[in-house]
Amino acid sequence: MVRITEELLRQRAEHNNRELFSLEEISLHQQEIEKLEYIDKLCRDLKILYLQNNLIPKIENVSKLKKLEYLNLALNNIERIENLEGCEELQKLDLTANFIGELSSIEILKHNIHLKELFLVGNPCTEFEGYRQFVVATLHQLKWLDSKEIERSERIQALQNYRQVEKQIRDQEQVYLLQRAREKEEALKKIQEKQEKKKEKQIKPKPGFDGRWYTDINNINPDPLEDKENHQQKETEKEYQEWKIDKDDEEDRAFWEEPTPYTPESRLEVHRHLEEKRRVKENIRGQKVKEKPPRTLITAEGKVLNMNEPKLHFFLKDDEENNQFILDLAVYRHLDSSLIDVDVQPTYLRVMVKDKPFQLMLPAEVKPDSSSAKRSQTTGHLVISMPKVQEIIMANRKTPTLVKPSDSNKLQTNIKRERVEKLEVDPSKYSFPDVANIIQEKERIGQVPINLQQQKVIDTENSYVDFEDNQDVPPLI
């Protein structure tokens, strides 16, 4: 049974910041509520109240809602209209698909002078002869009845035949009330019979298993047939559970196939049956769910296991230049950093992501105190830097130096000099032909004489071994 409590009201008032004193609208539909309570004390300013599809048998504890304009009580177990005199601003009342048989109880709605719409579709009273005429003649302020507008001519005619229609309605009410009294007695007898059957009838298990387990406390030494007996016992228990489930299915099928009248008692019975079936399923589901064994991160021998339970992509880089390991762990981008716990040990690394471990064995020993962890603001990746314990001495690489433009000429001359020195030969061992006079100069008429560059004549006879041609010294000629 679900009761209306302050906590339930606050949960359904999230649109109003869970505040009740200023709440104007609340929906409590499909909550399996069986009694109206506390609403008139906690929510005085309510204007709209939804209570459809529950198990409410009586209208109560709403008379203090002075500002209530719309009350929806469709699909409940209400049999009489009552306790609505205090709802002074009530304009719309929905009582669709209830069990209202006392049609004369609508006379109490005369005090609700602002009532414009009334819904009684699906109630036993709508089958009475003269039902609509009686309602129209009784409630003068009503404008709509069962989604149909009340015309002026219809009201005049209903008022003219009111005495006759009222007598018919009273007679039909008495017949209905007698029938309801018989239905209540039958429902009460049926409930008592079911309770007696439950007490007398006990589930008899199949032969070979009585539903209890026995242990021989004196049997210290294991019996070679013990495993076989345990296996047979488990098989018997499994067969018993299957038989029990089949029997429950047969009972459930018989319950739904049994013809029953549509009454508040039968509706409650269906609700109880469904609730019991739901509870049994939850118990079976709870038995089937096995507890997960504790995680083994480090074995008894001290071996660290690699593990990636959160299933994250990662990349481990060996940065030899800085003598460290860098781990790039692709943590979810929108995951809060408070849900991440990093633990760096000398030989392994462990990262807990939402209580799921990521553990990695490191190739070499690192310094936990000097390690650092950072998180990218764009991708959300976790980058962990772990310096190594053993430092590796790397050879210094020659870094290129920038050459100034003023020194470029000197550099070029030095390079040329080196090239000349490398290509120098001994002139005493070789003779070179004189090519200075191969081409004779010719005077050209009408043209400016061509200035030919004076060629150096190498005198092989006067050359000696220690000769050095220095280009920085100007020629003597």
Give pLDDT tens digits for 203-219: 554 445 455 555 544 55
Question: Given a cut of 60, is residue 51 above it in pLDDT?
Answer: yes
Report the candidate in 67, 68, 70 with the shortest Cα–Cα distance to residue 116: 70
| Cα gap 466→470, rounded to integer Å | 12
pLDDT cut 70: percent of the chain above it = 71
Give the pLDDT confidence score for residue 70 in this predicted structure.
Answer: 96
Contact 425, 432 (CB under 8 A): no
Distances (CA, A) of 201 to 65, 224, 272, 279: 50, 40, 20, 21
A 10 A CB-CB count for 319 gives 13
Give the pLDDT confidence score for residue 230 in this predicted structure.
Answer: 63
**Which range, 147-156, 179-188, 208-217, has the best average confidence (pLDDT)?**
147-156
Q: Which pLDDT band holds residue 475 (cuts at 50, 70, 90)?
A: confident
DSSP single-letter state for residue 37: -
Exposed, middle or buried: residue 401 (CB in 10 Å: 0-12, 13-18, 19+)?
exposed
Residue 451 corresponds to which amino acid?
Answer: N
Give the pLDDT confidence score for residue 461 in this predicted structure.
Answer: 47
A 10 A CB-CB count for 298 gives 12
Between 252 and 206, name the one with better pLDDT: 252
Q: Which pLDDT band holds residue 253 (cuts at 50, 70, 90)?
A: confident
Q: Is 350 helix (H, G, I), strand (E, B) or coil?
A: strand
Domain 307-387: top CATH class: mainly beta
Q: Torsion angle of alpha carbons 283, 289, 290, 295, nearest 10°?
A: -130
| Cα gap 373→327, rounded to integer Å | 9
Q: Which residue has the tokens 């109630």?
A: 123
Average pLDDT over residues 129-152: 94
Report the candidate in 80, 91, 111 with the shortest Cα–Cα distance to residue 173: 80
Report the candidate in 381, 372, 376 with the shortest Cα–Cα distance to residue 353: 381
| Cα gap 80→344, rounded to integer Å | 72
Give the pLDDT confidence score for residue 470 in this predicted structure.
Answer: 75
Q: Which pLDDT band holds residue 457 (cuts at 50, 70, 90)?
A: very low
| Cα gap 312→340, rounded to integer Å | 13
Question: Given a cut of 90, is residue 382 above it in pLDDT?
Answer: yes
Q: Which pLDDT band holds residue 456 (cuts at 50, 70, 90)?
A: very low
Question: Given a cut of 70, is residue 442 above it in pLDDT?
Answer: no
297: left (phi over 0), alpha (psi -120 to 50) or beta: alpha
Q: Which pLDDT band holds residue 278 (cuts at 50, 70, 90)?
A: confident
* Residue 360 token pair: 């990695």
Average pLDDT over residues 466-473: 71
Beta-carbon contacts of 97 under 8 Å, excluding residues fewer than 6 positions away, are 74, 75, 121, 122, 123
* Residue 383 token pair: 């980058």
| Residues in a beta bridge with 349 | 344, 360
Q: Which pLDDT band holds residue 257 (cuts at 50, 70, 90)?
A: confident
Between 364 and 228, name the one with better pLDDT: 364
Report the candidate in 7, 13, 17 with the shortest Cα–Cα distance to residue 50: 13
* Phi/psi at 244 (5° precision): -65, -40
Kindly tell me the sign of the dihedral angle through the C-alpha atoms of 96, 98, 99, 103: negative
Where exactly are the structural domains of the chain?
Answer: 2-178, 307-387
pLDDT tens across 3-20, in order? 899 999 999 998 999 899
| Cα gap 366→390, rounded to integer Å | 8
* Average pLDDT, rounded, for the chain: 80
Question: Given a cut of 60, is residue 432 above it in pLDDT?
Answer: no
Question: Given a cut of 60, is residue 424 above it in pLDDT?
Answer: no
| Cα gap 128→180, rounded to integer Å | 15
Average pLDDT over residues 181-196: 86
pLDDT tens across 330-360, in order? 998 888 888 999 999 999 999 999 989 999 9
Contact 348, 361 (CB under 8 A): yes
Question: Given a cut of 50, is residue 454 above it in pLDDT?
Answer: no
pLDDT tens across 284-315, in order? 766 655 566 777 888 888 898 999 999 999 99
Q: Which fold has domain 2-178?
A: 3.80.10
